[in-house]
Amino acid sequence: MGSRNFVALRTIWIKECTRFLRIWIQTLVPPAITMSLYFVIFGSLIGERIGQMGGFTYMEFIVPGLIMMAVITNSYSNVSSSFFSAKFQRNVEELLVAPMPNWIIILGFVGGGVARALLIGIIVTFVSMFFVDVQIHNPLIIFITVLLTASLFSTAGLINAVYAKTFDDISVIPTFVLTPLTYLGGVFYSLSLLPEFWQWVSKANPIVYMVNGFRYGFLGVSDVSFSTSVIILLVFNVVLFTVAYQLINRGVGIRT
C-alpha cells in the first residue's frame, strides 16, 4: 500500500470513527442498555429456572452470544447508515473521483464499522461483568472471531447501502434477515438440545458458527469445530468483499 493510499484509508477511517463517537449517546449507550435488559431477563430471571447448559450456568453460557449479537447488529448498521448517508448527500461521488482505488473506500467504511463493533463488544463485556464472572478460555480465538465477524457484517451493510434507495431500505435486512438468523443462531441455547434434524438445519445458519466460535474462545465449548467457523468466516468475507468491490467499480446505485 502506497503512502497516498494509506493516507486516504486513514482519513476515511478517522472520519467514520469520529462520526459514531460524536453521537456516542445514540451509538454506544443503547447497546449497553439493551444487553443489560437481556442479562436481567434471560440471565437472572429465566436463567435461574433453566439451570446449567453445556456445563455452565445459563448466564455464563449466553454471555458470548449476547456480545456477538451486539457486534453483528452494530457493525452492520454503522456501515449501512453511513454509506447510504454519503450516497444520499452525494458525498460518495467525491470519493469515487479521488485518486485512490475503490478497495480503499471499502476498507475505510468497513474499518469504521469494525471499530464501532469492537468498542461495543468491549462495552457489553464490561456490562456482563456486573452479572457474571466472565471466563476467557483463549483471547486469540475471541479476537479472531469478533474481527472476522465484524468485518463480514460491515461489508454486508455496505452492500445493503449500495442497493438501498431510501432510508427505509437499510432497515429491511436487519429486521427480516439478521434478527431471525441471530435469534436462531444459538445465542440462547445449545444446538445439542435440538432434535438431530433441526441441528442440521441450524448448521445452515452462518451465525451459528460465529456465535459458537466466539463461545469457544470464552468457555472452551462449542457445538461446531472452531476451524470450521474460521473457514466459513473467511469464505464469507472474501465473497462479500468481492461483491462490494464489483458493485463500487460498476457504480451500482451510485452513478446515475
- How far apart (Å, rounded) are the C-alpha atoms in residues 43 and 94? 48
Q: How many CB atoms are located within 10 Å of the residue 94 CB?
A: 9
3-class DSSP string for 117-172:
HHHHHHHHHHHHCCCCCCCCCCHHHHHHHHHHHHHHHHHHHHHHHHHCCCHHHHHH
Query: At 42, which amino acid appears?
Result: F
Whole-number pLDDT of residue 253: 75
**What pLDDT does 175 receive?**
85
pLDDT in tens, the chain (256 residues): 678 888 889 999 999 999 999 999 999 999 889 888 888 887 667 777 777 787 888 888 999 999 999 999 999 999 999 999 888 887 877 787 878 898 999 999 999 999 999 999 999 999 998 888 888 999 999 999 999 999 999 999 999 999 988 888 888 888 888 889 988 898 888 898 888 888 899 999 999 999 999 999 999 999 999 999 999 999 999 999 999 999 998 888 776 5
Distances (CA, A) of 172 to 109, 163, 164: 20, 12, 10
φ/ψ (deg, to 5) at 140: -65, -40
Q: Please name every residue paired with 56 in a beta bridge, in sequence order, or none if there are none.
A: 53
pLDDT of residue 86: 87
Q: What is the pLDDT of residue 90?
A: 79
pLDDT reported for residue 43 = 67
Decide if 78 contacts 21 (C-beta within 8 A): no
3 state DSSP class of 251 = coil
The radius of gyration of the chain from alpha carbons, rounded to an integer in Å, stands at: 19
Query: pLDDT value at position 96?
Result: 77
Q: What is the pLDDT of residue 69?
A: 93
